[in-house]
Structure 1
Amino acid sequence: MPIRTFLITLTATVLLLLGGCSTPVEPPGEASGEQQTAPTGAGGRVVTLPTPRQRLVFTARQEWALWGRGVWDAATDTYEWPAATAPGREHVPDFSSRVLLYWQALDNGAGLQAEEAQYGDGSLIPWSAVFISFLVKAAGIGAERFPGSALHWHYIKHIHDAPDPQGFEALDAATTPPAVGDLICAPRDATALRVWSFAQLADPDSRGGYHCDVVVEIGNGTLGAIGGNVRDAVTWTRVRLREGGLLEPSPQRPWIVVLRNHLP
């Protein structure tokens, strides 16, 4: 082919391509007004979202795993954890930062200063109730169902005095077998010396120190419950069960309350 003819042909081809590029092609449906629909069955997965009760349990288990999966036996007062992991401790920066997250969830993050979670000597203010409040909020359970607090007694007393058939109800641990998703509570320290029965919760003088855990597993005569600030960590507590699935009190945990979870 002569060079002149080749150059004319090449120029015509380039102009044709440029003309094509200068005319954008409208995406289907935009100019015509057609509705676009998301494809189905193209490799996507259908997700069944967990219920609030399930989220409470799942989140507790996730936090426990994050802290190293430590297990404390309430009957023998012994502690163990997987040999392959080191247990988390609140004084380690990674984990004290996690404790602050629990506090911020309780406070809605509204101007919380880190020092507010500490005593003057630098030690952390007890955070077990804050942890429970964090779990409840993370599960999507509103304050109208469960009023979060830095004190276990606040929400125990509120639920005791105003049981909610759609939320939580306080029941006597001596006669009520707990279920997965419930909370189990016991007085502690000096409070345990003067409050030893569920009936005493009707008295305002029952105010004091308590501890609560979320029940995450039941079977083989024992119960597994997860709580915060147990051995300075988020810890799985192993609890013995009596006949009928009732809690076996121990000196460390004289259980008196089951906070029944009526949520789905």
Structure 2
Amino acid sequence: MPETGETMVVTEFDQRAAAIAMAEWWFFGSPYVDGESSTLQIHTAPGSHGVPGDESKDGWRHRTWTYMKVGVYPDSDGWESQKAEPWSAAFISFVMRTAGAKSRFPYSMSHSTYVSKAVLNRLSGNTQDTIVAYRSDEIVPLVGDLMWRGRKSEDPAQVDTSGWGLDDIAAYIKAGGDSFPSHCDLVVRTDLQAKQIYLIGGNVRDRVLRTRVTTDANGLAKGAAHTVVLRNNIAE
């Protein structure tokens, strides 16, 4: 079994965060892919309202601005200059703030903001902080945790993080690196018996999408893409 020294507890906060993410997923029509790769065929889960949405359509596009306003810019109109920007980190920020994280989460339009904090907490041994990074082969993901994967940016000036793991992020930060291409999904359900972890993320195929990661018998993620688990230590 993995050894992290962490107590495996799903809190009321974790459950609220998962419920909020699932409600937003339902709003987008409950789309999912049957695997870890978001490029797989999109299906619609039973219980959907039957109207699939994406950011190109009225209503759903405006909802993505809500993620920016509520999640990242609750006290300003800064979201207005971000309308055309990727909104996946704003989605995570929206979920965390709405769930009641208050000042305990580093809200941002960029995943790398809170990923960097989680990695720095791990490097310094500050594992009691509200967010801490672990390699996917050393900690069992729980509902409320975030799972990170690297990606290749369309901007050639940006570093290509596809295939990166925790050690690569740590080395990049130690070398003075700042923002880096990232994506995080929230763990909304785990099934140890079926060896499955279900994730929901924003701005995946232009919508809120559910993906699925397979685990080993101990509950560790076996997927190739999500290489880092961000343990959510936010409690009541």
Query: Structure 2 length normalisation: TM-score?
Result: 0.79
Partner of 1:214: 186
Find the aligned partners of 2:42 and 2:210 in 1 and give their Cα distance.
Answer: 10
Partner of 1:198: 166
1:107 aligns with 2:73: yes
1:232 aligns with 2:213: no
Partner of 1:184: 147
Any conservation in 1 of the 2:136–2:228 contact (CA below 8 Å)?
yes
Any conservation in 1 of the 2:32–2:43 contact (CA below 8 Å)?
yes
**Partner SS state of residue 92, structure 1:** coil
Find the aligned partners of 2:221 and 2:178 in 1 and give their Cα distance.
Answer: 21
1:134 aligns with 2:94: yes
Any conservation in 2 of the 1:214–1:225 contact (CA below 8 Å)?
yes
Q: 1:10-37: CA deviations, max 9, x gaps?
A: xxxxxxxxxxxxxxxxxxxxxxxxxxxx
Partner of 2:120: 161
Find the aligned partners of 1:99 and 1:218 in 2 and give their Cα distance.
Answer: 27
1:257 aligns with 2:215: no
Unaligned runs of 5+ in 2: 1-10, 154-159
Match of 2:25 among 45, 60, 64: 64
Find the aligned partners of 1:78 and 1:240 in 2 and give their Cα distance.
Answer: 17
Instruction: Report the structure, 1 or 2, having the larger strand content.
Output: 2
Q: 1:132-154: CA deviations, max 9, x gaps?
A: 011110011023x2101111111
**Partner SS state of residue 107, structure 1:** coil
Instruction: Report the structure, 1 or 2, having the larger helix content.
Output: 1
Q: Which has the larger radius of gyration?
A: 1
Give the CA deviation at 1:77: 2.3
Going from structure 1 to structure 2, the CA distance change for 1:53 and 1:113 (only over 3 Å counts) comes to closer
1:125 aligns with 2:91: no
Find the aligned partners of 2:13 and 2:190 in 1 and give their Cα distance.
Answer: 19
Give the CA deviation at 1:161: 0.8
**Partner SS state of residue 158, structure 1:** helix
Give the CA deviation at 1:113: 5.6
Any conservation in 2 of the 1:200–1:206 contact (CA below 8 Å)?
no
Find the aligned partners of 2:77 and 2:36 in 1 and give their Cα distance.
Answer: 37
| Correspondence list, 1:20-31, <5 A | none
Find the aligned partners of 2:14 and 2:92 in 1 and give their Cα distance.
Answer: 13
Any conservation in 2 of the 1:224–1:236 contact (CA below 8 Å)?
yes
Q: Which amino acid aligns with 1:99?
A: T
Q: What is the alpha-carbon root mean square deviation over aligned residues?
A: 2.1
**Partner SS state of residue 59, structure 2:** helix
Partner of 2:6: none
Aligned residues: 204
Give the CA deviation at 1:208: 1.4
Any conservation in 2 of the 1:70–1:82 contact (CA below 8 Å)?
yes
Give the CA deviation at 1:231: 1.2
Percent identity (aligned): 29
Q: 1:21-59: CA deviations, max 9, x gaps?
A: xxxxxxxxxxxxxxxxxxxxxxxxxxxxx8322211111
